[in-house]
Amino acid sequence: MPRMLPRIWIITSPDHRDGLIAPVQRALDGRGAGQIGVQLRAKHIPDRNLIDWGHELRAITASVGSPLLVNQRADVAQIIGADGVHLPETGLPIARVRQQWPHLEIIGASRHDRAGLIAAQKAGATYAFLSPVFEVPDKNAPIGVEGFRQTIAGLQIPVLALGGIGPEDVEPLLEAGAHGVAVRRAVYEAEEPQTIVDELVRRLDKNHANVE
């Protein structure tokens, strides 16, 4: 595992009225080193645009010490100097990516059930997203907090919760064993993305302090 695996990940969306970059830049403003991770995800976008956005995000994330991953595209991750790649469940095999792109430190995996998480752990994924935890349009039925708890029980791989998550969900998910949370709509639909991330960080820090 990397020296510090963020417990909050922002997944980008190209459809925001201010563009893909601006909400992330606002959300990361003033963050501590490595506190938030960013995953560049923009489906059906020309490669040239994806690479341009990637270079912009690399500059922003580097300025605050945050890791940057690219969804699915290890080649783009290499071009922009990202820290790693996040692979969908039907994407490239994790072992193949590690062999072909050994400099990519972080390899994440999207999973939707226990069998998928076990496979990701055996393949050497750095972490996994488990989704959907709550209701998300056009996605499978949500598993809920208790379903999340049962699905990850006994696993060693860090698992982050994804799908319809807001700040109020942080504590119950951490208590259920989540390493952290991944968000997209919570940031991109917020009037003030920085406020949302402030609250996510506050609740994560509060839980960490209580555990200690």
What is the per-residue pLDDT for 208? 63
**What's the CATH code, domain 8-211?**
3.20.20.70
In 3D space, the residue among 106, 100, 103 whose CA is nearest the CA of residue 87 turns out to be 106
Residue 209 pLDDT: 52
96 to each of 107, 115, 123, how far by Cα in Å?
A: 11, 20, 10
Q: Which residue has the tokens 């062999």?
A: 99
Task: Quote the longest CA-to-CA distance of the chain.
Answer: 47
CA distance 135 to 128: 19
Q: Which long-range contacts (CB under 8 A, 24 or more apart) does 43-50 make?
A: 45/14, 47/76, 50/76
State how far the Cα of 188 lies from the Cα of 93, in Å rounded to an integer.
Answer: 30
Q: What is the mean pLDDT, run by run of 10 residues, along the chain of 212 residues?
A: 81 90 92 88 94 97 95 97 96 95 96 98 97 88 97 98 96 97 94 92 78 50
pLDDT, residue 168, reads: 95
Q: Which two tokens stand for residue 19?
A: 């563009």
Q: Where are the domains of the chain?
A: 8-211
pLDDT at 18: 86
Give me the pLDDT at residue 30, please: 82
